[in-house]
């Protein structure tokens, strides 16, 4: 089982990149973990928001076809507690699936078509930047594995 984080545009905030690297390193003790970054052509960023989201959808779809289980990180999705995420993850690990892909969208989020097609998971009622959410995601995935393994990182 491999976990993939699929994201749009490279991380441009240095502290986010550092944090992501820290948690990715810790995560790799538990599971093969890979980040795939889709680079959107800069000329696309001058188009309307809808056009940008459609271009991102097209590029995401060409990757998503490869994966067994997909979750989009989207604020309209279902919220989980850390324990619930760990349980969900344990079930997927037990299912014999080959890979699990989490997707963080572009600066304006996903198209409705993508939202309707895939399972959505929300991190918070708050909106966080599509950069910062990468760090939250990596910490939470690491936390879920420490819960599964009964290690002491997660309190309560």
Residue 11 beta carbon to its own copies: minimum distance, rounded to whole angstroms: 11
Residue 109 beta carbon to its own copies: minimum distance, rounded to whole angstroms: 8
Q: 96: left (phi > 0), else alpha (psi -120 to 50), else beta?
A: left
Which residue, 115 or 154, is less far from its own copies as judged by CB?
154
Task: Kindly report the number of other CB atoms within 10 A of residue 67's CB atom.
Answer: 17
Which residue, 65 or 152, is less far from its own copies as judged by CB?
152
Which residue, 32 or 51, is less far from its own copies as judged by CB?
51
Which residues of this chain interact with its own copies, rule CB under 8 A? 13-16, 18-19, 22, 79-82, 84-85, 107-109, 123-129, 132, 135-136, 139-140, 143, 154-156
Distances (CA, A) of 62 to 56, 87, 93, 126: 10, 29, 24, 30
Residue with tokens 């309209």, as numbered in its chain = 76
Enumerate the β-bridge partners of residue 103.
Answer: 6, 72
Residue 65 beta carbon to its own copies: minimum distance, rounded to whole angstroms: 28
Which residue, 33 or 123, is less far from its own copies as judged by CB?
123
Q: β-strands 99-104, 119-122: how paired?
A: unpaired
Task: Kindly report the number of other CB atoms within 10 A of residue 47's CB atom.
Answer: 12
Residue 22 beta carbon to its own copies: minimum distance, rounded to whole angstroms: 7
Q: β-strands 99-104, 69-79: how paired?
A: parallel
For residue 149, count CB atoms less than 10 angstroms from its CB and return exposed for 0-12, middle for 13-18, buried for 19 or more: exposed
Which residue, 14 or 41, is less far from its own copies as judged by CB?
14
């Amino acid at each position: 089982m491999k976990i993939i984080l699929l994201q749009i545009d490279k991380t441009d905030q240095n502290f986010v990149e550092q944090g992501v690297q820290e948690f990715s390193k810790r995560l790799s003790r538990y599971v093969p973990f890979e980040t795939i970054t889709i680079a959107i052509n800069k000329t696309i960023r001058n188009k309307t928001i809808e056009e940008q989201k459609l271009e991102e959808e097209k590029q995401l779809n060409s990757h998503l076809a490869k994966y067994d289980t997909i979750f989009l990180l989207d604020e309209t999705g279902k919220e989980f507690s850390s324990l619930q995420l760990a349980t969900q993850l344990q079930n997927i690990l037990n299912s014999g699936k080959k890979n699990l892909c989490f997707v963080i969208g572009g600066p304006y989020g996903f198209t409705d078509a993508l939202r309707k097609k895939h399972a959505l998971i929300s991190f918070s009622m708050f909106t966080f930047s599509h950069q910062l959410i990468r760090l939250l995601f990596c910490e939470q995935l690491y936390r879920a594995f420490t819960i599964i393994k009964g290690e002491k990182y997660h309190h309560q």
